[in-house]
Structure 1
């Protein structure tokens, strides 16, 4: 895949050629360890202190020994191992150890509370948990039984009854070898973010990594190139952090930088300069925050080559800011936990348009369907769908065949996301089925309104939902987190209302709004609009006025 080809030629000429046998651990560690054992694969940024590095030789050797330790504790093919760790050497090593055994990794966010963690451990039937001290504390607070959980392994935690990660790795028994897996053999369960209901476990095969390679090469403009080095603040427990960053980079020989410091916009600029980051995967929220922290000092020393963004709609003003200030076109891409990185942009191939996700990535067939599962004409809004079979497509929801069947319409995986494809093939995201607002006969997507709100200097975050209304069916309601330095008062409310009214059509204007202190976000950084839909519905049912009112228009 070279940028000298046109997008049309690239897409038309692409053919999948999956190997008969494939194991993620062997591809991400052993191949490079045999070829260049001293090649650096992971870099831990530690601020003012010297960075720590891990080579492919070390990654291969340590993951093999940890796999032997897991095997000695009874972990075998098909067993689920929950990995509840921050970005770290240990997280990568644990993932590869699980894949080696033909077991199934269950990546989970360290920030999950007891209820969220317990739900996912029970749903996956995890036999082992690999975590650290914070995870041990959360695990201890889980108040429902975990009947399948047999072992807990912790990094650096001295807790009775808990296995020590380092001891398990260094005192392992005989090499357990690497399972002879096919691309279709199960490798991981990644839970959906739960924006519209209880999270579901999407089971993926080893092929999912191969399926992501065309997208990585496409939206990172010929990735990898000499000197490429990737960083993302996205949690490796999320499909974005794991499959849009860590594992493809390891397979392609690109060093991955990580830090254990919580994301801060100003520090992000410093890290990019300090570690000579060439490629970044940044969710739109992170980019918006960096836009607000940009200064001549922050921008000095940057040598970025590509930026990819996904997980939420990229505001037009942020897209333009990056182009003007960073000298880069942000390449947006789209997918779901069940079927990721199927749409994308690539400035190198001339596929880039502010406000649009992009076009189908080579190797993936994407269409817009109506409610009967038929492809609609260009320019018509419908459900974004992906044609099966596809290497990035999940094997099914874990132990839930009914939900798996409901995800498909014939051979099409339906995303539940509303979108429109124009006559050039560009797809614009409109909103999830549940997010679309019906008001006075209009179907309104919240993304454009949120995009507009986010361009106001007094708005840090915004969520837009439909509130039931007897006259209009629904009215557009906005929930706003004020930016730092702005008080949630009448003056700010009036400023925001005037700003939005002048920029949107009358039917899109938020007729009601409220200030809130914080925005509920998923692990992947998406706004959980469901929380506000439920809140708005309760207000409508009780006819209660909104608290901390932003104002209401007649």
Structure 2
């Protein structure tokens, strides 16, 4: 498959000569699936499930997606309507997205980690018409469905359907496998990916079909001048997040690269090594937290015959020592990149062309323009810490926040999209992260907002008020600490703390529960009654320095 970036001897030459050339009519489904389906033998997915391995060709994916598109249309869902995909990495996850895009519908990738509250919010905010899920998540979907009037159809891919749910495979078997993919403009909405809710409840970032093209030059650079013969891709990153969906599934399938999927309950370093070796994986997207967990298992590189060629890392800083250890272990190119839900794969390093600085976010990837600006969008001098921002128009950038025009307007200062992260640029054009302008917590590769967690904590009958921050952790970057005040008649205890933790696990996502809970009588607050999380972070920092 031909690359977008032209061969060059230096990264500057690649960046300076790159130009976007978006088609007038397109569809992600056509680009990542239909184009490859002419070859009946071309492998799309390798599904390793237990002791069995099932290989899917692009033609098989296309036919199954055609059937689901026909089913959705037959149930009365029209162009622009939303379908939630609540599944782990699985062939049906990919098939469901492709089907939605084929029919001009908007897919809503959603993590299975979310509990009833998280699902209910997203179902109602996006006015979801149908959900595809599995038996493990069906009960909470049905519970949330009772509070989401827009949701009419639930498909379950395994087990015995309950509560009016439809059996996914049996339903598709009754539908035609012929469907003409709807070709649309690049700005036509394709998917809604929710943010971490750093300043209030999560916002739905609405992306057009152009978002696929926006990822491609970054993938080619970060995966070390990708694609190359023999490339095969895998990442444990959940396809519910833009990093997993965009960096691997969309980019990999655009170039016809086979992608490995297999179930993994939490990150398992030994299983990871086994699967990468057995299936001859050449390209991987791994967060620094995953790398830290892999580090003690270097002996498995030779034992499992792991032969990675290129690794993308991101979502948190890799660090010089960890990077050196990973380079020695894998003997593969490792490039750090930067992106967020609103605009993914925008900065990165390119060690293949000797264009990198360890610990930096990198420089703008081809086709993207970055700057450090003040709150009004004015460029700041080199070396000055300010808002990291990206310039529109940019195909990888969101169209808008879903039905939130005020939030969309606040995200921009003129043509600059303000990321919410603070950084500086050096004289060579490399960007260096300096902190967060909001209250986002980065833990094990996840960007987590405090509002949902605080809301879930307050629902506990003993809790009066709560505030959540991230505190540094050697493996997870940060862990979640909750400061909690209790209602009269309740006494702090380890038992109560565990009750609160469990209530958050049940209501939200398993990665969002507070590992530390501190009971307090008062909170630092503004004159308008807003809790000052910044002061809590400063207090936590001073405590750590004193240890």
TM-score range, shorter chain: 0.7 to 0.9
**Counterpart in 1 of 2:345?**
341
Q: Using a 3 Å threshold, how does the CA distance of structure 1 residues 329 and 540 change in structure 2: closer, same or farther? A: farther
Alignment check: 8 A CA contact 1:239 1:337 kept: yes
Q: CA deviation at 1:180?
A: 2.4
Post-superposition Cα deviations, 1:155-200, rounded to whole Å, max 9, x if no partner, equal 0132241111112211015844221211110000000122443210
Q: TM-score, normalised by structure 2?
A: 0.81
**Counterpart in 1 of 2:379?**
375
Count of residue pairs the alignment pairs up: 484
Q: CA deviation at 1:292?
A: 3.1
**Residue 116, structure 1, aligned to residue 123, structure 2:** no
Whole-Å separation in 2 of the counterparts to 1:384 and 1:537 = 37
**Residue 245, structure 1, aligned to residue 248, structure 2:** yes
2:331 to 304, 327, 334: 327
**Residue 366, structure 1, aligned to residue 370, structure 2:** yes
**Counterpart in 2 of 1:172?**
175
**Counterpart in 1 of 2:459?**
none
Whole-Å separation in 1 of the counterparts to 2:99 and 2:322 = 39
Q: CA deviation at 1:341?
A: 0.5
Q: Using a 3 Å threshold, how does the CA distance of structure 1 residues 259 and 131 change in structure 2: closer, same or farther? A: same
Post-superposition Cα deviations, 1:418-471, rounded to whole Å, max 9, x if no partner, equal 0111001111111210359xxxxxxxxx99xx9xxx9xxxxx99x9x9xxxxxx
Q: CA deviation at 1:289?
A: 1.0
**Residue 553, structure 1, aligned to residue 546, structure 2:** yes
Whole-Å separation in 2 of the counterparts to 1:17 and 1:316 = 37
**Counterpart in 2 of 1:156?**
158
**Counterpart in 2 of 1:65?**
67
Alignment check: 8 A CA contact 1:72 1:172 kept: no
Q: CA deviation at 1:390?
A: 0.2
Post-superposition Cα deviations, 1:228-256, rounded to whole Å, max 9, x if no partner, equal 00000011111011101001111111001
Q: Secondary structure at the match of 1:217?
A: helix
**Counterpart in 2 of 1:432?**
436
Alignment check: 8 A CA contact 1:71 1:176 kept: no
Alignment check: 8 A CA contact 2:64 2:177 kept: no
Q: CA deviation at 1:2?
A: 5.1
Q: Secondary structure at the match of 1:340?
A: strand
**Counterpart in 2 of 1:28?**
32
Q: Using a 3 Å threshold, how does the CA distance of structure 1 residues 242 and 551 change in structure 2: closer, same or farther? A: closer
Whole-Å separation in 2 of the counterparts to 1:101 and 1:155 = 20
TM alignment of 1:156-305, pairs within 5 A: 156-160=158-162, 161-173=164-176, 175-262=178-265, 263-295=267-299, 300-305=304-309
**Counterpart in 1 of 2:12?**
8
**Residue 406, structure 1, aligned to residue 399, structure 2:** no
Q: CA deviation at 1:90?
A: 0.6
**Counterpart in 2 of 1:354?**
358
**Counterpart in 2 of 1:74?**
76
Alignment check: 8 A CA contact 2:301 2:330 kept: no
Whole-Å separation in 1 of the counterparts to 2:380 and 2:514 = 28
**Residue 384, structure 1, aligned to residue 388, structure 2:** yes
Post-superposition Cα deviations, 1:253-290, rounded to whole Å, max 9, x if no partner, equal 10010111222112111111111100000111111111
Aligned residues: CA RMSD? 3.5
Whole-Å separation in 2 of the counterparts to 1:301 and 1:403 = 49
Q: CA deviation at 1:297?
A: 5.9
**Counterpart in 2 of 1:146?**
148
Alignment check: 8 A CA contact 1:190 1:202 kept: yes
Post-superposition Cα deviations, 1:313-356, rounded to whole Å, max 9, x if no partner, equal 22322112112222234201111101111101111122222111
Whole-Å separation in 1 of the counterparts to 2:73 and 2:25 = 22
Q: Using a 3 Å threshold, how does the CA distance of structure 1 residues 38 and 365 change in structure 2: closer, same or farther? A: same
Alignment check: 8 A CA contact 2:301 2:329 kept: no
Q: TM-score, normalised by structure 1?
A: 0.80
Whole-Å separation in 1 of the counterparts to 2:331 and 2:257 = 23
Whole-Å separation in 2 of the counterparts to 1:140 and 1:91 = 19
Q: CA deviation at 1:305?
A: 0.2
Whole-Å separation in 2 of the counterparts to 1:84 and 1:143 = 13
TM alignment of 1:506-545, pairs within 5 A: none
Q: Using a 3 Å threshold, how does the CA distance of structure 1 residues 297 and 319 change in structure 2: closer, same or farther? A: closer
**Counterpart in 2 of 1:423?**
427
Q: Using a 3 Å threshold, how does the CA distance of structure 1 residues 395 and 531 change in structure 2: closer, same or farther? A: farther
Q: Using a 3 Å threshold, how does the CA distance of structure 1 residues 226 and 309 change in structure 2: closer, same or farther? A: same
Whole-Å separation in 2 of the counterparts to 1:551 and 1:4 = 48
Whole-Å separation in 1 of the counterparts to 2:475 and 2:239 = 29
Post-superposition Cα deviations, 1:91-150, rounded to whole Å, max 9, x if no partner, equal 111110000110000010112111111111111100001111122111133386101111
Q: Secondary structure at the match of 1:405?
A: helix
Q: Which 5+ residue runs of structure 1 have no aligned equivalent? A: 437-445, 455-459, 466-475, 484-515
Q: Using a 3 Å threshold, how does the CA distance of structure 1 residues 534 and 329 change in structure 2: closer, same or farther? A: farther
Alignment check: 8 A CA contact 1:236 1:242 kept: yes
Q: Secondary structure at the match of 1:127?
A: strand
Whole-Å separation in 2 of the counterparts to 1:295 and 1:14 = 41
Whole-Å separation in 1 of the counterparts to 2:13 and 2:209 = 28
